[in-house]
Amino acid sequence: MKKALRKAYIGLIMAFLYAPIVLLILYSFNDSKSRANWGGFTLRWYEELFTDPALMSALGTTLSIGILAAIISTILGTVGAIALFQMKRGPRNVLMSVVNLPMLNSEVVTGVSLMLLYAMAHVQLGYITLLLSHVGFCVPYVVLSVMPKLRQLDPHLAEAAQDLGATPLQGFMRVILPDIMPGVFSGFIMALTMSIDDFVVSFFTTGSGVSNLSITIYTMAKRGISPKINALSTLIFLCVFILLIGINLSDLRSSSKSKKKVESVRIPY
């Protein structure tokens, strides 16, 4: 009885979360613009999506900002996590609280403060300010993803690599980085997701002529949501879904390989 209730409870939660997405995917194939009537199956919204210059420009800006911000924040966050990990416990805890502050702070406060900072520095709002802002709020997520992997490392691993003749850079690239790579990759995916998803900070730090998808969709919502947005959202959902399946399969393969290596080891008696 308890198992049945648990399964029913989980089923209700999954239905609550995914029912709107299923409806969105369904209506992306609706021939009618009305969300109340089904006008038949069609692919014309996907065709019009790829011929809409505003949406394609916003998609290009979103992807370029997201990828660049994820790469830069991953590098900065990984280096910052290593530096924090090597500090003493007291200063590290203080700086970790400072690093985590942007994640706890309201996005409105972050966006307005960044806008005022650029205004005081006489920096014109545009692509560069949007990129810098995304890097700023993505770095803490990378630090948060890399830090647990650093705690799992043997503290004498880098010294052992140097004792065997490796330079500090070689020891990091060949010994430390491969062990923390799952955390680095998770931080990259998290930064990319947060950048693509952001609206509030982007709204305050972008300039005229530079618009990502969230701002473009917000502008279109004032005139009514076009079914082209349903088609775009469907494609984004499918890309994320395929990416998550690939990550899970990679984790399963790596865990199975590690189990095989452990099982192949035999302790002689």
pLDDT band of 267, cuts 50, 70, 90: very low
Q: What is the mean pLDDT of the chain?
A: 84
Q: What are the pLDDT digits (tens) for 67-100?
A: 999 999 999 999 999 888 888 888 888 888 888 8
103 is a domain residue:
yes
pLDDT digits (tens, 9 = 90+) for 169-181: 777 788 888 888 8
Per-residue pLDDT for 218 more than 70? yes
- 245 occurs within a structural domain: no
Q: Is 204 exposed, middle or buried (0-12, 13-18, 19+ CB in 10 A)?
A: buried
CATH of the domain at 192: 1.10.3720.10
CA-wise closest residue to 142 among 179, 92, 195, 89: 195
Q: 185: domain range?
A: 63-211
233 and 217 Cβ atoms separated by less than 8 Å: no
- Please state the domain count of the chain: 1
Measured distance CA(125)–CA(71) in Å, rounded: 22
Q: Is residue 104 a part of any domain in this protein? A: yes
| 246/256: higher pLDDT | 246
Q: How many residues does the chain have?
A: 269
Quick one: pLDDT band at residue 127, thresholds 50, 70, 90?
Answer: very high
> In this structure, is residue 30 part of a structural domain?
no
- Between the CA atoms of 121, 124, 126 and 132, what dihedral angle is there, to the nearest 10 degrees? -10
Cβ(134)–Cβ(201) below 8 Å: yes
Tell me the per-residue pLDDT of 97-111, one tens digit each, with 9 for 90 and over. Answer: 888 888 888 889 999
Q: Is residue 44 part of a domain?
A: no
Q: Is residue 265 part of a domain?
A: no
Q: Is pLDDT of 232 > 60?
A: yes
Could you tell me if residue 148 is inside a domain? Answer: yes
Residue 269 belongs to some domain of the structure: no
- Residue 140: the pLDDT is 92
Write the single-letter amino acid at 152.
Q
pLDDT at 260: 62
Exposed/middle/buried for 76, CB within 10 Å: 0-12, 13-18, 19+?
middle
The answer, yes or no, to whether residue 269 has pLDDT greater than 50, is no
